[in-house]
Amino acid sequence: MRRALRGVVDFVKRRPLGGAGAVLIVWMVLAAALAEVITTHDPTSNSFADLLKPPSLEFPFGTDQFGRDVFTRILYGSRTALIVGFGASLTGSTLGYFFGVVGAYVGGWVDGAIQRLMDVLISFPLIVIAIAVVAALGPGTLNVVVAITIPIIPRVARVVRSSALTVVSMPYVEATRSIGTRSARIMFRHVAPNVFAPYLIMLTAFLGQAILLEASLSFLGLGVAEPTAAWGLMLRGAGMQFLERAPWLAIAPGVAISAAVFGFNLFGDSLRDALDPRLRSA
């Protein structure tokens, strides 16, 4: 525990930008976890008496076009953002990691097939995937996660594969192989852990991008649906329509999205620097 704490302190000392990012992330997680404690308003109940009220003591960020407390919806919205961010980037990166490692280690036609599949996915326009998934499954939060996961997979797989190739050709892997250790074991015990760094870097990089993508999908009417509290939806729906009459409707989710993504990106960028300054990946 103490060692972990020291690790954190060290990271913040050496990577102040990453530290700032981590603060933003922790803040967001706290908001998501404690939403019920922090606010007593209901995020989805309309109150026609309180339409479009400017910020006040009762409604710190004002109310929206249905009289719902914007502050409350921002808090609950951080849950949606975390689900989308972590859901998509964890699933996508992990699948990509898996395909990358297997491809590099097994080689041969399996690698070829995986690579072609990844090439197909990566050259396929994201928007078509998104619309297809959302149109076929409906715009629930989980379906949005699926839509965003798919394009992440090939991007991670490529990077992980090229790192894994170097590991596979290293003498100790070849040595273990010659002793006769079973393939799957070498793969998971020796290859996989050695390409964990690029996996982690891609994972953090896509955390923020997933949240942004959700906002873009919302803009196209393909994101999370009302009355669920979601930042992208708040910014697109009310935010854009009432930009001039009730600017607080756009400021709160706009700042929330930007700060969260900013936090994830700062953290990811520093993590990349810390883990591998030589990593060449886009």
Binding to another protein in span 121-140, by CB under 8 A: 122-129, 131-132, 134-136, 138-139
- Which residues from 170-229 bind another protein, rule CB under 8 A? 208-209, 212, 215-216, 219-222, 225-228
Residue with tokens 């854009």: 240
For the bound state, the minimum distance from the C-beta of residue 185 to another protein, rounded and expressed in Å, comes to: 28
Of 125, 172, 173, 113, the C-alpha closest to 150 is: 125
Question: DSSP string covering 227-271, please?
Answer: TS--HHHHIIIIIHHTTTT-THHHHHHHHHHHHHHHHHHHHHHHH
Which of 6, 116, 185, 189: binder of another protein (CB under 8 A)? 116
How far apart are the C-alpha atoms of 269 and 120, rounded to whole Å?
A: 28
Which of 33, 197, 255, 274: binder of another protein (CB under 8 A)? 255
CB 248 within 8 A of CB 233: no
Number of residues that bind another protein (CB under 8 A): 79
Which of 32, 46, 86, 141: binder of another protein (CB under 8 A)? 46
Classify burial at 3, counting beta carbons within 10 Å of its beta carbon; exposed 0-12, middle 13-18, buried 19 or more: exposed
Q: Please tell me whether residue 16 binds another protein under the rule CB under 8 A.
A: yes
For the bound state, the minimum distance from the C-beta of residue 87 to another protein, rounded and expressed in Å, comes to: 19
Q: Which stretch binds another protein (CB under 8 A): 30-38, 44-52, 83-91, 183-191?
A: 44-52
- Which residues from 50-69 bind another protein, rule CB under 8 A? 51-52, 65-67
Which of 33, 90, 200, 251: binder of another protein (CB under 8 A)? 251
Distances, alpha carbon 219 to alpha carbons 37, 41, 129, in Å: 31, 26, 16
Residue type, 148: I
Residue 139: helix, strand or coil by DSSP?
coil
Sequence-separated (6 or more) residues with CB below 8 Å from residue 211: 81, 84, 85, 231, 232, 257, 260, 261, 264
Binding mask 259-278 for another protein (x = CB under 8 A): x-xx--xx--x--xx---xx
For the bound state, the minimum distance from the C-beta of residue 181 to another protein, rounded and expressed in Å, comes to: 26
User: Which residue, 99 or 248, has its beta carbon nearer to another protein?
Assistant: 248
Which of 3, 13, 57, 182: binder of another protein (CB under 8 A)? 13
Residue 69: helix, strand or coil by DSSP?
strand
User: Which residue, 99 or 192, has its beta carbon nearer to another protein?
Assistant: 99
| Residue 137, token pair as written in the block | 């499954």
For the bound state, the minimum distance from the C-beta of residue 209 to another protein, rounded and expressed in Å, comes to: 8
- Which residues from 138-157 bind another protein, rule CB under 8 A? 138-139
